[in-house]
Structure 1
């Protein structure tokens, strides 16, 4: 499970359970000033994640952890049974966060709302 929260002036992504083991990360905290936007993206699961380092990849089941593609790092924590939300970043190690959540549209709207009011 992946939780996406706005805490103060930061976006906090927390992984739990088996997702934490697969992604090898418990938490990612990003200042909101480094978040460019968020979108619900059902097609992202068909994109190649890149070279994992470290992480987990079982085709059509789960992609988790740090992946490098075209010189950029992306953090993935996405199971096939989940909806995907993509968070675009700037000034961080990861260029994108690809996260599996229960309601991708609601998460993206919440992030976008915070970004536009701040």
Structure 2
């Protein structure tokens, strides 16, 4: 699970629980002006992930960490596909973040409001 907050023009993603260990990350901080878009997407769980390095992958159960697919670097931290949010980025190390949050619609709304 990831806790999302917005502070001083940054999108702050805090990885909680066992996800810290599985994803090998505690926190990501992204300038809001690097966020291209955000969607709640339960179908994201079935997206191709590519090569994992570093992280954890248990197909059909969880994906956590850094994955490389077709020249893109994507951060995953999803256990429950129904709570998946996809954040598209520009000018960042990661091109996309696929995260699990408690309330996807609220997170999408708050990020959209902040980047508007």
What are the superposed Cα offsets for residues 76-117 of structure 1, whole Å, 9 maximum, x if unpaired?
00003651000110000100000001211111111001111x
Instruction: Kindly report the root-mean-square deviation, in angstroms, between the aligned alpha carbons of the 2 structures.
Output: 1.0
Mapping 1:34-45, distance limit 5 Å: 34-45=34-45
Match of 2:18? 18
Q: Does 1:3 align with 2:3?
A: yes
Q: Is the Cα contact below 8 Å between 1:85 and 1:108 reproduced in 2?
A: yes
Q: Match for residue 100 of structure 1?
A: 100
5+ residue gaps, structure 2, are none
Give, in whole Å, the separation in 1 of the partners of 2:87 and 2:27. 15
Query: How far does the alpha carbon of each residue in 1:2-46 deviate from its partner, in whole angstroms, 9 at most, with x for none?
Result: 101101100011112210000000000011111111100111001
| Contact 1:24–1:54 (8 Å) recurs in 2 | yes
Tell me if structure 2 keeps the 8 A contact 1:82–1:102. Answer: no
- 1:2-81 aligned at under 5 Å gives the runs 2-80=2-80
Distance 2:95 2:59 in 1: 22
Given the two structures, how large is their TM-score scaled by the length of structure 2? 0.96
Could you tell me the TM-score, scaled by structure 1's length?
0.94
Secondary structure of the 1:67 match is: strand
Does the aligned pair in 1 maintain the 2:42–2:82 contact within 8 Å?
no
**Distance between the aligned counterparts of 1:96 and 1:109, measured in 2?**
18
